[in-house]
Amino acid sequence: MSQTTIQHTNFLKRAQHRILAAVFAVGVLLTYALYAWASNVDPVSKLQEDFVSAGKAYNEGRSLDAIGLYRQILDQGYLSKELLFNLGNAYFKSGRLADAVLFYRRAWYLSPRDPDIQANLRFAMQTAGVTPPAPALPVYFLQKMSLGEWVAIACAAYWIGALLFCLMILFPRFQDGWRRALLTALIVLGVSIAGIALWLNLYRMPEFVIQNAGQKALSGPLAESVALFALPQGALTRMKENRGNWVLIEYDRQTGWAPTTNALAVFNFDTLRDASIPKRD
């Protein structure tokens, strides 16, 4: 074997090792991102006593006490679909429909396929007389999985794809089979990335719930602007733009400006980062 051939072979081996190391490093980073997200949305097991006390207060008809206890848990930085769902129930029972819609929707973000969350959110919006959002079919499909689920699927698809890629390098005789399986993994990874992008965009341009009755959508971000249409209490809207204390929102296929003093974000990057919930007493 010539010296040139040996050098070429060694170069290919080093390149393969570097590729495998890069694939492994990227996979570790993705897995760490999943762990960081999962640890941010912590269950309420550490505050089980307060959680049980809040449930007891709700069952005894003391909705305001239940709200206070659930809010104490939220103030500790803990977040779960059960906590948000129960808080929505307590607000609904106390007659605060806008807050009920707000917290049902927050619970839906964490578990969009939960039938109880879906039913209560729909009933709260019907009771408030608001028009529910009607997403396009691709968005409807991608919202069937939560952000955390799409991240988990993306990590799994990446690791499977990375393994298949390594097998293609190590066992080139079976490349056709590895290639078909790798293509499937890449398709799953692509769909999951689309799901992640959709949810992150929803955090970047969040939904808002109108808190008080009598709000009008205005033609501009000024209190003196022309009123365009009514925004009922509990209306679930989507932000298109923000300027200071004003947001341009879309509701029932109409757009107009509303003050943030009368609209609370469902979720945004702040709540995603530190699991905090904007307080409203």
For 168-195, what is each residue's pLDDT tens digit? 877 777 777 778 889 999 999 999 999 9
Q: Which CATH architecture has domain 45-133?
A: Alpha Horseshoe (1.25)
pLDDT of residue 275 exceeding 50, the answer is no
| pLDDT for 234 beyond 70 | yes
Residue 133 is given by DSSP the state P
Q: What pTM, to 2 d.p., does this model score?
A: 0.79
Domain boundaries, the chain: 45-133, 140-202, 207-274
To the nearest whole number, what is the mean pLDDT of the chain? 82
Residue 7 has pLDDT above 60, yes or no: no
**Do the Cβ atoms of 238 and 133 come closer than 8 Å?**
yes
Question: 3-state SS string over 32-85?
Answer: HHHHHHHHHCCCCHHHHHHHHHHHHHHHCCCHHHHHHHHHHHHHCCCCCHHHHH
Q: How is domain 207-274 classified at the architecture level of CATH?
A: Roll (2.30)
pLDDT tens by residue, 136-151: 999 999 999 999 899 9
